[in-house]
Chain A
């Protein structure tokens, strides 16, 4: 080494430089690998728990796989055509979409004014906030089970008890008449979600600089004009988040109708998710279950990107 150093000439210097660059490259490559390794757990869980099963579902939807025997054949689109002639499935598609759209609309219409109001410092505003928010903390399944008692026409049914006591109205069959059952499921869904979404809007409202309002107050804008002229446009990004979350959770609804009505009366509150589990897991009709899953996935993706597209467009126009 020393001998070589003493005999240093230009080419030797260049050589060392090259070795140095090579070394640095190796270090950088190692660092890159180390950083990329941090993706591994998330990517692995994505591949094993989401990607592979989803692809298998789509593949199975073209077969007559029954879950046990591996002697299954390709059956083309017959699982799909079977879906749309099955009243239990068409009913569930209808109700799932009805529930998703109705809860999204009603929750949004209630949550924004509630957020604006609880942002005002009236007496008890913190208590009101806490109470509204609390309804979305417990398990929806447990709450829905409680609501079956509340809506019951029997002794436990507070709603009927109050209707009779206040207006003398006879027991209403909230959960055993088709349209009333659908309405009940939707209303309980709204009750359980509206608090969480008003807190979401409240979070955004509090990050809105109050200069806007000061300026409007000085200009003498009325409360209503301030609401539609300032608050609603400023909440546009919050609305995107909230509406997308509502639509997705609405399409995925499962526990609520299961606990309230078990899907009855006569399919009127069956959901897509309930049918997927019934066909795919309980009844071993994997082909049909998978086909329904694939249709459902397409529905969720279309709704998700459709809603996102519309809301983003609206956001851009408002700002």
Chain B
């Protein structure tokens, strides 16, 4: 909430207080806020219950969990963590996920921003038509392209390879292009003209002016892409076959069978797999509310 709107709410409260008697209205507002707190915190607790359930069971033996799945563990056991760390190649899967996510995000954001830059330098009729053609890509689900794409990737020798997976993720460049294009169009054209007069070339204007000025939307798009690629199951499951290439999401999926009888261990694997996303969430949390609007409103 911005300072301006906080100020105006206060102003509104003051107006009300003046028109409706001094204390009654204010006391009612407090009562409403208290009620909201209770109701909303209860709802949030309900929504978060699955996460509590996941984490609390990682410290229990299967017997403890079966008796009371929601109770606190007594005694605490770290057996599940030992079990999972010893039986699942966690470092390898995290490494694979990190590799495809970093390269995939860099490539799509770079490509998308380049195209958005070109669009903003020359918004000609032909380029606007190109934009329209690219829009169709957003409507085409991956499943529609998967059969021929798979054949093409086999021919190119890029199946069951992490780099091949990154190439498939590059289709996301079109999405980045749209969001970034919307934002870049709000950057004053005078800045570009001034740089041209100073003798800046096409790539200099891109690297020194448009990219730094687009940082807020680049961050938003990078966040979307990071969550999307890190969590991707469909594409990775289609193009990767050997378990040494598995990303962490594939690893969790393929371990379900292994842990059917020992579900506290499965919850432990889940918990470990969620750690990077939780850390990422804590970092971006403040950014996302404003950023989501920045990307969407202008895009």
Contact = CB atoms under 8 A, between A and B. Distances in A.
Contacts of A259: 253
Q: Which of A121, A138, A147, A276 lies at the interface centre, i.e. has the most chain B CB atoms within 10 A of its CB?
A: A138
Contacts of A132: 44, 47
Contacts of B47: 131-132, 135, 191, 195
- For this complex, into which size category does the number of interface residues on chain A fall? 35 or more
Nearest to B52: A158
Contacts of A267: none
Contacts of A146: 50, 53-54, 267, 270
B88 interface: no
Interface stretch (A1-9, A80-88, A122-130, A166-174): A122-130
Interface stretch (A12-20, A47-55, A101-109, A310-318): A47-55
A119 B294 CA distance: 17
A46 interface: yes
Interface residues of B, number: 105
A135 to B, nearest CB: 6
A235 B166 CA distance: 37
A54 B145 contact: yes
A145 B253 contact: yes
A38 interface: yes
B274 to A, nearest CB: 5
B297 A204 contact: yes
A300 B292 CA distance: 24
B208 interface: no
A222 interface: no
A16 to B, nearest CB: 23
Contacts of B201: 34
B40 A122 contact: yes
Interface in B227-255: 227, 230-231, 233-234, 238, 249, 252-253
Interface string A225-265: 00000000000011001000000100110110001000000
A57 interface: yes
B170 interface: yes
B69 A158 contact: yes
Contact of B146 (A204, A255, A277): A277
Interface in A202-230: 202-204, 206-207, 210-211, 213-214, 217-218
A149 B70 CA distance: 13
A145 B270 contact: yes
Contacts of A300: 139-141
A289 B145 CA distance: 11
A254 B234 contact: yes
Contacts of A248: 139, 141
B293 A207 contact: yes
Contacts of A129: 289
B145 A273 contact: no
Interface string B14-38: 0110010000000000000110110
10 contacts: A34-B201, A38-B206, A42-B134, A133-B281, A134-B51, A139-B273, A150-B50, A238-B296, A277-B143, A300-B141
